Structure 1
Amino acid sequence: MLTRLGAAVRARAETSPWTNVYGLARTMLAVATLLTLLATDTTSLFRPVAGVPDFPNCDDIAQYGLFCVAGPGPGRYIGIAVLVVVATGWRPRFTALPHWWVTVSFQASGSLPDGGDQVAAVMTLLLLPVALTDGRPWHWGPAARVADPARSLLAWSAFLVVRLQVAGIYLQASMAKLGREEWANGTALYYWLNDPMFGSPEWASWLLRPVLASAAGVTLLTWGAIAVEFALVLGLVARREAWPYLLLAGLGLHASIALLMGLGSFALTMMACLVLYLRPADTPLPGPVPMPVHGWRPALRPGPVRDLSTKY
């Protein structure tokens, strides 16, 4: 048993975790926070709230954050610059810590951070062992060669923790909903989609009105969301063959949240989590450049053999 376990660990350690899969997730996480900073003015991001009169909040860990060290105005522009660089994929080893610092600073100092901001702060922290051991110039490039199996195993261990964290998020989300009467009886989305702030936009009203006017339609929407979240939890133990279907269901769930409730940055953050959770990191996404898993050089097609004996 120990021999088989050792062989499995060695095989995993010799497989490169540094592919464009986690690169895509890093870009999505950066863009989600970037959109929030770009689309919201400084006074709205760091508005004094009840119980926190400071502007911005600089208590506890927040005092070491970007928006307290540099100030809310300069900090916002510094954060935008950092996130733009991270989103391009340039030098993940050098941009990993600044990325985490921006996200945790915003989560700690922002007036009304949502769940997506909190998840982004956690995900960028958990991805540090992967990014800091990635020596590629771009996280979109070919998979890095595994020169040190220990570093590779460290990165794979981080991916395991990320998957446990994402499964925990969906488990908590689904179980917590069942503790609320409106979710348990299947009527919660009737109230959310008709809410004046978080409700559906005008362009979708004609489509949703007949559904929300039907008891069966409302129940299907409400319990369907819970069912998808429960199914995503099972992705932790499901066979890889089921991952694409679960990924598609999760992406559809969060795309609908973005379109119908306007929670775009939250949806993009959770989509990034789903990429890390349900897209195998050792299976690079299709791209214009060949991306082998075990080596750093793209495969070369041999050309025709030329007979040079008559020339020399």
Structure 2
Amino acid sequence: MRLDTIVDDQATRLHRHLSRYSARTRWFGIGRSIICFAELTVVLLTPSNALLIPVLSITDGARCDGVRAVSAFCVGDQSSGGEYARWLLVAILLVAASGYRPRWTVIPQTWAVFSIASSISVPDGGESISLIMSMLMVPIALADGRKWHWTKAERPSSPTWHAVSFAAFWAIRLQLAYVYLDTAISKFGVSDWANGTAEYYFLRDNMFGVARPLDGIFLELSKNPVIVVGMTWGALVVELAIAACILSSGQWRKVGLGLDVMLHGMIILTMGLWSFGLVMIGSAVIASTPAVIAPTPALAEPCRGTVLAA
């Protein structure tokens, strides 16, 4: 097959995907709101003296070195111990979660998430993923002129912003698939995961173990070797399946979303990692956005032979 034919075929496929893609859907709105709500629970339900608690020699309050200096906890009046900054972040995340004017609220949202991820004393993986996803959402939201991200887009976006948001959408899918793929593969190198006993120990961990009222049920079930091996290896299989589904077609992405909700729903029920679980579910919702006929301007149909003509 000639090179120009291959290039034209790929350009045609890209044109077809672009013409059916639109991020300005309720899927994007729901996913974005879930992520914002997850971060909102962190700053709303946790006082600043707990968020910025000194941790040995690692930190003495908010971390403000280097680029962290632009964090909400590091600018302005510090006499309140971070309380003013915390309530400012609550307000920003509340507005972003409401879905109002995504084009104008996505930058403050990203700054708020950055402030949490970079300055609190003990951030977890949820904060890191939330920051990455918020940054990747910026091009999509900047192309979104809707008043509320719950409504249907009526006007077409410009071809440039349409293409940029499509690239950002693919970046979100690739990033999320990598997280699940890397998480699953890395666990095979840990003996407890490889031999199928990891869940037995996790359920009994003093900090992250199963909480009431389900502790009795899961602790009893985990005494059965077959069940505990199924729980341990089952989690790895589900993570690999989520990664594969996210990179597949629209119907398979929905399957991946279902698996993601099931996985993190169980983690929330057993370990109580609410904000982390919600961030991952919200990210999966955005990554699972189905192909729809977008109200976009007509994109020029690629013509055969244009490569040689150029």
Shorter-chain TM band: 0.7 to 0.9
Return the offset for 1:145.
2.6
Alignment of 1:98-113 (within 5 A): 98-113=108-123
The answer to whether the Cα contact below 8 Å between 1:119 and 1:269 also exists between their aligned partners in 2 is: yes
- Say which of 110, 120, 139 aligns to 1:129: 139
Correspondence 1:25 to 2:26:
no
Q: In 1, distance between residues paired with 2:156 and 2:10?
A: 20
Q: CA deviation at 1:53?
A: 3.6
Whole-Å separation in 2 of the counterparts to 1:48 and 1:163? 36
Taking a change above 3 Å as real, the CA distance of residues 259 and 151 of structure 1, as seen in their structure-2 partners, is same
- Number of residue pairs matched by the alignment: 287
Q: Is the 8 A contact 2:117 2:127 kept in 1?
A: yes
CA contact (8 A) 2:103 2:145 kept: yes
In structure 2, the partner of 1:287 is: none
**2:47 & 2:179 partners in 1: Cα distance?**
30
For structure 1, the 5+ residue unaligned runs are: 284-291, 297-312
| Amino acid in structure 2 at the alignment position of 1:293 | A
Q: Name the CA distance, whole Å, in 1 between partners of 2:95 and 2:249.
A: 36
Partner amino acid, structure 2, of 1:26: R
Q: How far 1:257 sits from its partner (Å)?
A: 0.6
SS of 1:146's partner is: coil
TM (normalized to structure 1)?
A: 0.87
SS in 2 for 1:67: coil
Tell me the SS of whatever aligns to 1:106. helix
Q: What is the CA–CA distance in structure 2 between the aligned matches of 1:25 and 1:53, rounded to whole Å?
A: 33
What amino acid maps onto 1:56 in structure 2?
A
Unaligned runs of 5+ in 2: 1-5, 298-310
Aligned to 1:77: 87
| Residue of structure 2 equivalent to 1:34 | 40
Distance 2:127 2:102 in 1: 20
Alignment check: 8 A CA contact 2:177 2:242 kept: yes
Name the residue aligned to 1:294. Answer: 295
- CA–CA distance in structure 2, aligned partners of residues 50 and 168 of structure 1: 33
Query: In the superposition, relative to structure 1, how do residues 263 and 138 fare at CA in structure 2: closer, same or farther (>3 Å)?
Result: same
| Alpha-carbon shift at residue 226 of structure 1 (Å) | 0.7
1:91-240 mapped onto 2 (5 Å cutoff): 91-240=101-250
Helix, strand or coil: the match of 1:68? coil
Give yes or no for contact 1:144–1:293 (8 Å, CA) kept in 2: no
Matched-pair contact (CA < 8 Å) for 2:28–2:289? no
Identity %: 33
3-state SS, counterpart of residue 279 of structure 2: helix
The equivalent of 2:52 in structure 1 is: 46
Distance 1:52 1:239 in 2: 45
User: What is the Cα-based RMSD across aligned positions, in Å?
Assistant: 1.8
| Deviations, residues 168-220 of structure 1 (Å, cap 9, x unaligned) | 10011111111111111111111111112211112102321331111111111
Q: How far apart, in 2, do the equivalents of 1:257 and 1:231 lie?
A: 17
User: Which residue does the alignment assign to 1:299?
Assistant: none
Please, which of 1, 7, 22 is the counterpart of residue 12 of structure 2?
7
User: TM-score scaled by structure 2?
Assistant: 0.88
